[in-house]
Structure 1
């Protein structure tokens, strides 16, 4: 049986773009008979908001989304990440980095970088040759760890985006696998978690296409095979063409829920964004029955906050 995961991060409330991804992932899984794990990605310490995990679980249930296992958290067991770091260190694949963010930002002003999630690292601390290190080296305080990235582009085929090429060295360079706080980075944690939870089907937004190349590289270095299959959905954007955010108004699911908007109205809007046509109401079960991967638009969706689906009190309409 194939396995997928719903992986909200408790750094903020779920918004309409998140809901579209989770509903599409859930519907595809239920159609295909995939096992679903709910995983709370709670390693981003400073940005984790109190109560956000419980709210995310509550909102998913309110929308009609269910899962077969979980919720599981990342912070509850850090040992698997440490084991992965020790293997990478022993192979000479990672090295300690003592650069500050200000130093990296200053270097980025004079060097090209092409990934909005992470500044391009100029290689300041990179040793000339790969240097195998013992596990104890990882215990040095105040040191981050980076993966040595080879030059040149890599490629994979996505079920929605098609063939995708990306040059990690040109966009992010040697990327973080562990922070100065001693925690695994997002890239490492995702790879380790997907492997230990046997996740082989991943559905998410196409802003993470570049991250997929980094994760595939980590999988290779850690001997994880075969790689998962990926489905990257075009993003939901604001009317200014930028990623959905607070500047576009309040797009939180909890906001519309508090205003009396029914879950079925929100799902109907998301169904429209998934190429299923217009309708006033739709349950999660009905959405799963109608969902068609081939109908997914291959271009970004533009969010219009004035849509009738989201009118206050619309739970009583239609």
Structure 2
């Protein structure tokens, strides 16, 4: 049910530098197969979202790609480095933000960042400059020396991401980064993600929030049963699911009735002078409708296109999970 085959995805991706390339990724824990041959290609400077039900293998994939656990099979390249042959090179160019905040509650935000700078061996002066810059970038300067017990969930998450950036990574793995955040904090984090991508950073994101993937991702893959079952842009995935339609309003009942006959309308509302015809929201289906109306001399007063959202896509594609 995938939008593009693996070969087509790989071919399309060759036009841009790949930040992540995965072929045939496999992982089992005992008799349970978690990843059963996953293929991914992520161009540099983009956001790639990995969706799937609980237990689909999203976090396992992130842990493998970030070198935290070993795969059972497959080929993996991150920022041009083969993970099997050069894991240290991969670690030097990536950042990871897990599902739960990794900050040290006994330290202040500034101390957490300086500790990370020390781990990266940036040097005393460079580490403090880096920490100060990140505190300002993430809006934490005023609270930089306050106990973390005074921080909100959104502030802690921003600090967690700031710590990921101490090493100036080219690729960042965000594993459900906004879980538990309120809507305002979630949108603040989205803004930070967009800024990072604008600066050329590549982000692989796992999330349970369909709106998050819709807002941020250049491409989305749905992982289920250890395999990628669909991949594409948000618009492409939405067109996989029936239920899209075009709504048209006409000037009077006579034109409405004539248009309903021409288009074979699925639904007609005589009071509102509107009708609906099935359509996937794509250009071709819209052009077909408009061409038929133009040929019949029946211009519409208003037109709107309705497509299924990612919730519909997710539920339909993973219905058997």
> Which one has a larger percent strand, Structure 1 or Structure 2?
2
Q: Same fold, TM exceeding 0.5?
A: no
